[in-house]
Amino acid sequence: MRQFVVGEGGWGDLRGTFSTRSAQFRHRSMRRAATGRGAEGDVMRASNEGVEINYETEGEGRPVVLLHGFPDTANLWRHQVAALSTNGFRVIAPDLRGFGLSDKPADVNAYNLLNLAGDVVAVLDDAGVERAHVVGHDWGAALSWALAAFLPDRVDHLAVLSVGHPTTFRGEGFEQFEKSWYMLLFQFAGVAEQWLSDDDWRNFRRWSRHPEADAAIALLKANGSLTPALNYYRANLPPESYVAPRIDFPPVAAPTMGVWSTGDIALTEGQMTRSASHVSGPWRYERLEGPGHWMQLEAPEAVNELLLDFLPR
């Protein structure tokens, strides 16, 4: 989930685009902060150029944004929300666009990383937050890396689960490509949807090994999220991205913790450990023995302990 293509404009103007948006959002953020919006337990809606993002806040204290990935919603983080909000943090957990109660644009390119980053900044703006810790998993981790690289003034500490830095993917060679075979399958609109959902979602269950498969499937079906979720791969990982020139990301200055679990079906350990070379700030690596890709659900206490130890209050 790391060799990105960001729409027709590419990455060349990304820093400038983020800087312009950041200035606009910062002005509105300071204005909205005075209104007291985003109090404990609120369910909120933020807007990014007409796309509305549903998010929840819990607790009081230093803000932490939790970003989920495929095929989940903010509910993925419920164990972490409970732990962080009772230990001095204000937790902000959005449903990323295409998932849960957030809007689901029809255009594939609406799911490119630039638009996703704009959604997170819009959420911070709406919540009256200037700077936050950012924690991401799966696509949320990929997005977190981009935010920390291109909007360093909005990211305090960065914690990424499962997914390493965007430039480490191809360097892992055949082992990583073998694990990532499904990314090419997901490019085929209609075919991928049918493959995943046929026979009571049999292939989804067998391939993903999601520990809460029934709940994940129910949310995909109830909210019409399957095609939007697959559009993440179609917008950011088209086949040509595997041979395109690599993108030069600015080094991540924020203190960063990468966490990888030995049972991960989709990602090698190397793509996480080699991320250290792309972090100019302090780097910490943690390896969890046993859990699969969804470590927040399979080993919530271990993940909570790491986050509480790493993120300053």
> Within a domain: residue 294?
yes
Total domains present in the chain: 1
- Please work out, in degrees rounded to the nearest 5, the angle formed at the alpha carbon of residue 63 by the alpha carbons of 303 and 2: 60
Under the banding of pLDDT at 50, 70 and 90, the label for residue 17 is low
pLDDT in tens, 175-234: 888 999 999 999 999 999 999 999 999 999 999 999 999 999 999 999 899 999 999 999
pLDDT score, position 120 = 98
CB 200 within 8 A of CB 218: no
| Measured distance CA(81)–CA(12) in Å, rounded | 36
DSSP string covering 113-125: HHHHHHHHHHHHH
| 20-33: average pLDDT | 47
Q: Would the pLDDT of 14 be above 80?
A: no
- The one-character DSSP state at 163 is -
* Statement: residue 10 has pLDDT above 70: no
- pLDDT at position 21, please? 53
pLDDT in tens, 126-152: 999 999 999 999 999 999 999 999 999
Distance from the Cα of residue 282 to its chain's centroid: 21
Lowest average pLDDT, out of 17-31, 36-50, 82-96, goes to: 17-31
> 299: domain CATH number?
3.40.50.1820
Residue 125 near residue 46 (C-beta atoms within 8 A): yes
Asked if residue 217 belongs to a domain, the reply is no
What pLDDT does 34 receive?
36
Is there a domain that residue 4 lies in? no
pLDDT at 22 over 70: no
Q: Which amino acid is at 149?
A: A
Tokens of 168: 């480490």
- Say how far apart CA 289 and CA 311 lie, in whole Å: 22
Instruction: Determine, yes or no, domain membership for 24.
Output: yes
Please enumerate, as own/partner, the contacts of 199-202 that have beta carbons within 8 Å and a separation of 24 or more.
none
What pLDDT is recorded for position 91? 98
Residue 38, both tokens: 């985003």
Given this model, what pLDDT does residue 111 score? 98
Question: Does the residue 284 lie in any domain?
Answer: yes
Give the pLDDT score at 20. 54
Query: Is 218 part of any domain?
Result: no
pLDDT at 41: 63
Burial of residue 102 (number of CB atoms within 10 Å: 0-12, 13-18, 19+): buried
Does a structural domain hold residue 131? yes
Percent of residues, the chain, with pLDDT higher than 90: 79
Predicted confidence at residue 156, as pLDDT, reads: 98
Q: How far apart are CA 274 and CA 165, in angstroms?
A: 8
Q: Which residues constitute the domain of residue 68?
A: 14-175+236-310
Q: Is residue 230 part of a domain?
A: no
